[in-house]
Amino acid sequence: MLDRARAGKFAYPAVNVTSLTTANAVLKGLADSKSDGIIQVSTGGAAFASGSSVKDMVLGAISIADHVHRVADRYPIYVALHTDHCQANKLDSFVLPLVEETERRRAAGKPNLFSSHMFDGSALPLKENLDIAVKLLERFRKDDLILEIEAGVVGGEEDGIKASASAKLYTTPEDTLEVASRLNAIQGRYLLAATFGNVHGVYKPGHVKLKPSILKDCQDAVIAKYGDPARFDFVFHGGSGSDIRDIHEALDYGVVKMNVDTDMQYAFTRAVADHFFKNYDGVLKVDGEVGNKKAYDPRGYLTSAESAMAARVKQAAQELRATGTTMMQ
């Protein structure tokens, strides 16, 4: 999938999910687009998926991945499973147990649980970030797992984790050369979230200044030093709310995965709000009435929410030039 995106200058939508319904929405949106794509789970999303009293990130992530492994067979596209931002202090309680689960599955002749995992060491000095990344990539290579790392910091807030005001929002070519010098010799596959002013969440126009040309500078530097095969596979974090021109420019410079969470959350909730406002007397027992079971059965509004989110996934695939690119014949 990554080679195909790299050659075709398009990117896969990587959509955060937290439930069966949101996972199903992504599958439907991708299938409607004839595009392969990526379903991803954050630490908070995984804990949520395990149930609000259990709050077990690993269990929730396995549960969602198991569901996707089973139902994806019914959709005529490929979907990769990924885990999102995991800081160094959570590797032992999130990513590594999931890698062990994959290793158990491989030993039993089953496919990997997840296709890829992100290690977000962007809060650490680059050397420490890469020391950890090197160890992970060496292990991931043996397991056919892909590693995503981050150099530079994505602004804004995700999963309650907020970037500091002094954070380095723009990666430099020197940083990415250091990434290539440490990781390329390992011969594993990795994705690089280089930051070019990206911010998690959606803000009013003018608040976020994206500079996709930074990606080009990084790409030019690595090709000049290590040749064309060293070209990076970039990840665009904080894709929600981005201008289409910035998105297309980023694709031209090697972005193969764009994370979209906030726009999906809104599409989902917008449909639920629509249902509740239109069916006020049905979803509530007003003035001694009994409401309308058809209106308050969660399946009704969750089906609308699934469709609305699927439509937003379809739009993302279109914006990322992924429509019609599936490898499934």
Q: Applying CB under 5 A, which residues contact Zn ion? A: 154, 237
* Nearest residue to Zn ion, by Cβ distance, number only: 237
Backbone angles phi, psi at 286, to 5 degrees: -95, 135
CB of 236 to Zn ion, least distance (A): 9
Closer residue to Zn ion (CB): 137 or 154: 154
Length of the chain in terms of residues written: 329
Query: Choosing from 3, 36, 66, 84, which is the catalytic residue?
Result: 84
| Minimum distance from residue 187 beta carbon to Zn ion (Å) | 26
DSSP string, 69-126: HHHGGGSSS-EEEEE---BGGGTTTTHHHHHHHHHHHHHTTPPPS-SEEEEB-TTS-H
Cβ proximity to Zn ion, 95 vs 154, nearer residue: 154
Q: Is 84 a catalytic residue?
A: yes
Rounded-to-5 percentages of helix, strand, coil across the chain = 50, 15, 35
Read off the tokens for 123. 């809060």
Write down the least CB distance from residue 259 to Zn ion, Å.
Answer: 5
- The two three-digit tokens of residue 248, written as one number: 């297309």
Please, which residue, 218 or 235, has the CB nearer to Zn ion? 235
Compare residues 64 and 154 and give the one whose CB is closer to Zn ion.
Answer: 154
DSSP assignment of 21-83 equals: HHHHHHHHHHHHHT--EEEEE-HHHHHHHT-TTT--HHHHHHHHHHHHHHHGGGSSS-EEEEE
**Residue 320 beta carbon to Zn ion: minimum distance, rounded to whole angstroms:** 16
Active site residues per annotation: 84
